[in-house]
Amino acid sequence: MTIQFNDETFRDDYSFYNSERAIKRFPFPFHEDSYMYSVNMEQHRGGPMDSVYEKRFDVDEHYVAEMKDRAMVLADDPLRCQSLPHMTLAGWDLLELIMVSKSEDYPDLFELHRDGNKWRWVNKPLGIDDTFTFLDDTTLPYGPMEYITRQAQGDFCVLDQRDDNLWMDAGMVTTQADWSLDFDIGMNFFEWHAPVPLAHEKGIFVRALKFLLNIQQGAPARRLNWTMTVNPLLDTSPENYHKWGIQKTTLTPENIGTKQHLRVELQTFFRLPRSNALVFPIRCYLCSFQDLMTAPKWGRRLHRVIRDLPVELATYKGFIDNRPMMLDYLSQFDDGLPTSPGIWPDLDTEPSLQK
Amino acid sequence: MSKFTFPESIRSRPVYGTLEPRAGSAHLFIADTEGAEAIIAMATPEIMAKGHIIYIAKGTDYEAQLRALNPASFYAGPSYGAAEQRIHKTLADAKMGLQVYLTGTEGLMGQAQNAAMQAGVPHTAIQTEHRGSTARRMQCVHCKGITEDVATDPFVCSHCGLNLFVRDHYSRRLAAYQGVCIDAEDPGNVPAPKGIYE
Amino acid sequence: MSGAEKIAVIVTDIVPLNDLVTRFEFKPIDGGLLPTFSGGAHTVVEMQDGDITRLNPYSLMSDPMDQTAYAISVRRDDEGRGGSLFMHRNVKVGDKMTISYPVNLFSLDLRAKKHLFLAGGIGITPFLAQIKQLERLGGNWELHYACRSESLGSYVDELTSHHPNETHIYYDDQDQKIDLLNLLDGQPLGTHVYVCGPKGMINWVRQTAEGEGWPREAIHYEEFLAPQPGKPFEVKLAVSNKVIQVGENESLLEAIEREGVDAPYLCRGGACGQCETRVIDYTGNFIHRDHWLEDDEHASGEKIMPCVSRFEGKTLVLDR
């Protein structure tokens, strides 16, 4: 199966769109009709065919456009990609993991040819064909982490493990839900999560850290996280918040269906072999309310989740002011019928909207 | 002597303690203003025999008292910037077993802590005690400029002019708290500034 | 499933180094490549010793970048419960075995300006892999290695010929001793010290370095505890509703596994914390031997690490 890559933008005219296939495979993050933090980790070893869980690093129709957007962000602000000096080996680990995974999982799009330390990497969608020496920084145009993450969707945090903690010591962060790598680099797990409300008190981070410290080679894990974004803007950075924040005020009852997007992060965790670091890819998927409502189960459930979410969380996720308008819209798609458990849309078995 | 009690806050906000003598091969004190009082309160002849003091007075009058502790070396300078190269040299020449004691304002402790960390001292092994002003060193997350001695919330970024609110989120690497635009979603609607701890 | 991922391997080489230590080399049965690893990692080797399945951790000592084979060195412990004896006596070239993916509980702090390695006896093995890693990365290191005698000095020749300037050897029987205070004194700021060897050596290095004002984060140690034999005892497993007997020569964890109850584990040597188990009720005394729980947790009677710790008394009920 060859992917048809969209010609689209994540800024200015916002021509981003999801095909019918992309909507169907959207990682809807709510497995029940309510939401609260939990350490919702599971093994990352494939999933249903064509779901975002199937491959180690999902490549979809937005790949080429997302990489163009990343290049623009980095041209404006190179501080979005940083690696502390001791993290270079982990960068090579990550380069190897992504190249091996993508060439095995998408042989029609990516090729990796290895002859000892002489490596040739072919990325057909981006028109790249590079030969370099593995572990020799001088043979790549960027550092290893930057080189490969300019070719991989989603943000990447590379975490050093020491003193029973994880340290945000390297990363490529251009599609973030309003946090700054440049500010947070060097922080430990509790510190970079410090601004998150409620979860510390519930002991979520203590349990999550314990789980993550014990992730072993060959046994990656994953979870979903979510927030809300007005317009399909990938780069919701604090750096540019004074520019994009105003967009939140442009929602109207007429445009909310197309403008308001559910933003879902597929977070995965891999132990890196040579450095013993942990890589934490955060892959962002966007879907407009209007497109989500094509799955009746998702329509019913999203209304109930947003309606019942604690004020602290709606505030932290940045949509407390828009919540009433969201609920006006979403309530049209909730007929009160029960929903099936799990995140999948169950289009064949869930009843259509009864009103 | 007055010590300010900071309100409970989030996990990234530094917590300061009270300096105490520890075993070590040498003792480096970096202090500004009323931080001198914390050194005087804990100094012993044994510590000061291997003690090195780098002090930024900023108009306070403790220099004679600090000299009277008879440290192995003593430097007094007008600003952190003026002392910075001396601090880096001292740390570059230092050996394992060095104990680092920082006291005074948050801005001074943060910058000196950063220098010691870069030299290889884990931040958890560095002792700190807050004295003097509670004004903060703030980074504007938008233009990245640092504004020193911020005492009010919100405040105006001294570099780009945006109105910023004061967060408790703190970066050891930048030795600064984060300032974020307060009126991005409602331009011009900026509340009247008040003291950070009011 | 408990423990790390498994790899099916074949024993391709067995080299006796001296009276006590033998090196084993493993290659994958399927002819493919092994995962790379970081210096300091160990693998858990499964041994089918009659009815007993033994799972013992051994440090990987081969070049972390070499994906064709892994090597471990096993010191024969005549007093132990038989794992090392099984490796020495029963394992032959060509045997098929199962080992775990590499797990690292003793990794280098790559920020260190200098790595100071202190090894005692068989504790040399993790450093062999770390030295190969640092040589590749251009790291700054120094090794001080104490052995009982020249004849028991595993890998001394290799180390002194390849790294004459970095390697320092001390023989107990020639009254040579690491001059620790002098060694620690004057190390540049940003040095990290790593120690692997007998418990006494580890405690000596940790206490001395802390006493000299070294930060806790700059002191690294690894000691795998082999589970010690002890008096048999009875345990009730509350969740699975079983009463089981722990034999003299098996660990509590092994007894739980023997009864078909799945229990998490990783290192099986009291270091990683994975097998931590809640105590529901007890009358008697714990024999805590792990490095994981804090002293107050040991005293509390609320937790036990079944990989190395035992119990003497009337009743023990576990949340498992």
pLDDT of res. A74: 98
Residues on chain C touching B27 (C-beta within 8 angstroms): none
d(CA B174, CA A149): 25
* CB distance C79 to C94 below 8 Å: no
Confidence band of C1 (pLDDT split at 50, 70, 90): very low
- Taking CA–CA distances from B176, the nearest residue in chain A reads A183
- Taking CA–CA distances from C110, the nearest residue in chain A reads A86
* CB distance A168 to A192 below 8 Å: yes
Preferred mutation among B121, B139, B141 to probe A, highest tally of A CBs within 10 A: B141
Residues on chain C touching A206 (C-beta within 8 angstroms): none
Q: Is A300 a catalytic residue?
A: no
pLDDT averaged over every residue in chain A: 96
A315 touches chain B (CB under 8 A): no
| CB within 8 Å of chain C, chain A residues 256-295 | 273-276
Contact C36 A274 (CB under 8 A): yes
Percent of chain B at pLDDT > 70 equals 99
pLDDT of res. A1: 53
Residues on chain A touching C4 (C-beta within 8 angstroms): 216-219
User: Which residue among the candidates A56, A223, A263, A323 is catalytic per the annotation?
Assistant: A223
Q: How far C102 CA lies from chain A's nearest CA (Å)?
A: 7
d(CA B148, CA C308): 55
For the segment B95-112, the average pLDDT, to the nearest whole number, is 98
**B134-169 b/e with 16+ CB inside 10 Å = b?**
ebbbbbbbbbbebbeebeebbbbbeeeebbbbbbbb
Q: How far A36 CA lies from chain B's nearest CA (Å)?
A: 20
d(CA B42, CA A41): 49
Among B97, B99, B119, the residue with its CB nearest the CB of C190 is B119
For the segment C185-202, the average pLDDT, to the nearest whole number, is 96
Tokens in use for B67? Answer: 């000299």
**Which tens digit of pLDDT belongs to each residue from C38-96?**
999 999 999 998 888 888 999 999 999 999 999 999 999 988 778 899 999 999 999 99
d(CA A168, CA B123): 15
Name the one residue in this structure whose structure tokens are 């007094």. Answer: B76
* CB distance C100 to C3 below 8 Å: yes
- Say if residue B29's pLDDT is above 70: yes
Q: Is the peptide bond before B154 cis (omega within 30 degrees of 0)?
A: yes
- Say if residue B79's pLDDT is above 80: yes
* CB distance C224 to C74 below 8 Å: no
d(CA B6, CA B197): 8
- Taking CA–CA distances from C63, the nearest residue in chain A reads A274
Preferred mutation among C111, C182, C189 to probe B, highest tally of B CBs within 10 A: C189
**Which tens digit of pLDDT belongs to each residue from C276-291?**
999 999 999 999 998 8
For the segment C203-213, the average pLDDT, to the nearest whole number, is 97
Among B97, B119, B124, the residue with its CB nearest the CB of C214 is B97
Residue type, B117: M
Residues on chain A touching C110 (C-beta within 8 angstroms): 86-87, 89, 160, 275
pLDDT of res. B82: 96
For the segment A9-32, the average pLDDT, to the nearest whole number, is 97
For the segment C10-36, the average pLDDT, to the nearest whole number, is 97
**Which tens digit of pLDDT belongs to each residue from A57-116?**
999 999 999 999 999 999 999 999 999 999 999 999 999 999 999 999 999 999 999 999
Tokens in use for C42? Answer: 């160990």
- Taking CA–CA distances from B94, the nearest residue in chain C reads C189
Domain architecture of chain C: domains with CATH: 6-104 (2.40.30.10), 114-222 (3.40.50.80), 233-318 (3.10.20.30)
Pairing, β A155-162 against β A278-288: antiparallel
pLDDT of res. A333: 98
Tokens in use for A207? Answer: 């349990």
Chains touching C (3+ CB pairs < 8 Å): A, B
d(CA A215, CA A218): 9
Residues on chain B touching A193 (C-beta within 8 angstroms): 11
Is residue A91 exposed (0-12), middle (13-18) or buried (19+ Cβ within 10 Å)? buried
**Which tens digit of pLDDT belongs to each residue from A112-127?**
999 999 999 999 999 9
Query: How crowded is the C-beta side of A176, counted as CA atoms within 13 Å?
Result: 21
Domain architecture of chain B: domains with CATH: 26-130 (3.40.50.80), 136-195 (no CATH)
- Say if residue A222's pLDDT is above 70: yes
Confidence band of A12 (pLDDT split at 50, 70, 90): very high
How far the first Cα of chain A sits from its last, in Å, is 38
Query: How crowded is the C-beta side of A322, counted as CA atoms within 13 Å?
Result: 27
Residues on chain A touching C111 (C-beta within 8 angstroms): 84-86
The whole-model pTM stands at: 0.94
pLDDT of res. C2: 66
Between CA A311 and CA A171, with CA A178 as vertex, the angle to 5 degrees is 135
d(CA B185, CA A245): 5
For the segment A180-208, the average pLDDT, to the nearest whole number, is 92
pLDDT of res. B52: 98
pLDDT of res. C144: 98
- Taking CA–CA distances from B138, the nearest residue in chain A reads A183
